[in-house]
Amino acid sequence: MRKPFIAGNWKLNLLTEPAMNLAGELKNRLRGVDQVEIAVAPVFTALSAVSKVLAGSNLGLSAQDLYWEDAGAFTGEVGPAMLKDVGCKYVIIGHSERRQFFHETDESVNKKVKASLKSGLIPICCVGELLPEREAGKTLSVIERQVKGALAGISKAEVPPLVIAYEPVWAIGTGKVATPEQAQEVHQFIRKQLALIYDPTLADSIRIQYGGSVKPDNIKDLMKMPDLDGALVGGASLKAETFVGIIKAIG
Kindly list the catalytic residues: 95, 167
**For residue 156, how far is the Cα from the chain centroid?**
20
129 vs 198 by CB, closer to ligand PEP = 129
Question: Which residue type sits at 165?
Answer: A
Output the smallest distance, CB 8 to ligand PEP, in A: 9
Output the smallest distance, CB 124 to ligand PEP, in A: 9
Beta bridge partners of 7: 39, 232
Q: Let me know the angle formed at the C-alpha of 85 by 2 and 38, rounded to the nearest 5 degrees.
A: 25
80 vs 235 by CB, closer to ligand PEP = 235
Q: What is the CA radius of gyration of the chain?
A: 17
230 vs 235 by CB, closer to ligand PEP = 235
Output the smallest distance, CB 108 to ligand PEP, in A: 18
Output the smallest distance, CB 232 to ligand PEP, in A: 5
Q: How far apart are CA 87 and CA 17, in angstroms?
A: 18
In sequence order, what are the residues at sequence separation of 6 or more whose Cβ sits closer than 8 angstroms to the Cβ of residue 58? 30, 31, 32, 33, 34, 38
230 vs 234 by CB, closer to ligand PEP = 234
| Angle between helices 16-29 and 44-54 in degrees, nearest 10 | 30
Residue 235 DSSP class? G
Question: Which residue type sits at 101?
Answer: F
User: Interface with ligand PEP by CB under 6 A: which residues?
Assistant: 9, 167, 172-173, 211-214, 232-236
Element (H, E) at 205: helix 200-205
8 vs 203 by CB, closer to ligand PEP = 8
Output the smallest distance, CB 96 to ligand PEP, in A: 7
Which residue of this chain has its Cβ atom nearest to ligand PEP in the complex? 234
Is there a contact between 192 and 203 (Cβ–Cβ < 8 Å)?
yes
